Structure 1
Amino acid sequence: MNWQDRIVSDPDTLFSKLRIRGTRIEDEFILGLFVYGWDEVRMLESYPYLIPADL
């Protein structure tokens, strides 16, 4: 899967910041969770509308 299929930027959403397609979750937020020690399982349990390809 190409990352560009999952990460988008839209001038009408979140001031054109990069986000996960279909959500209002910024890529920086996901990266921050990894920095704080979250793993993929915890993220997917906490945000059930994400899929593994989003991470």
Structure 2
Amino acid sequence: MNWKERVFADPLICHGQVCIKGTRVPVAVILDNLSEGVTEAEVLRSYPTLTSEDIKAALGYAAELSRERIISISA
């Protein structure tokens, strides 16, 4: 799965935060929840517009960032 198909940033949506396409859910919110021990099922219940694939995309985006390279995100 290509995380770039599900993750985007638009200065006019959520103040330019990186979000899941088709939602206003920032990737950071998903990652914060997961890092605090919230399960995937709980995240999906809290944010019904998300799918399991969206959570995987958020993790893929985080993994890409951890490689300490500059990556391009387009709307």
TM superposition score category, shorter chain reference: 0.7 to 0.9
Identify the residue that residue 67 of structure 2 maps to in structure 1: none
Instruction: Report the TM-score when normalising by structure 1.
Output: 0.88
Identify the residue that residue 3 of structure 1 maps to in structure 2: 3
Identify the residue that residue 13 of structure 1 maps to in structure 2: 13
Give the C-alpha shift of residue 20 in structure 1: 0.7
More relative contact order, 1 or 2 (CA 8 Å, 6+ apart) = 2
RMSD of Structure 2 on Structure 1 (CA): 1.0
In the aligned structure 1, how far is the partner of 2:50 from the partner of 2:7?
12
Q: C-alpha offsets along residues 16-46 of structure 1, whole Å, 9 cap, x if unaligned?
A: 2100111111111111001111011111122
Runs of 4+ in structure 1 over 6 Å off: none
Unaligned stretches of 5+ in structure 1?
A: none
Equivalenced residue count is: 55
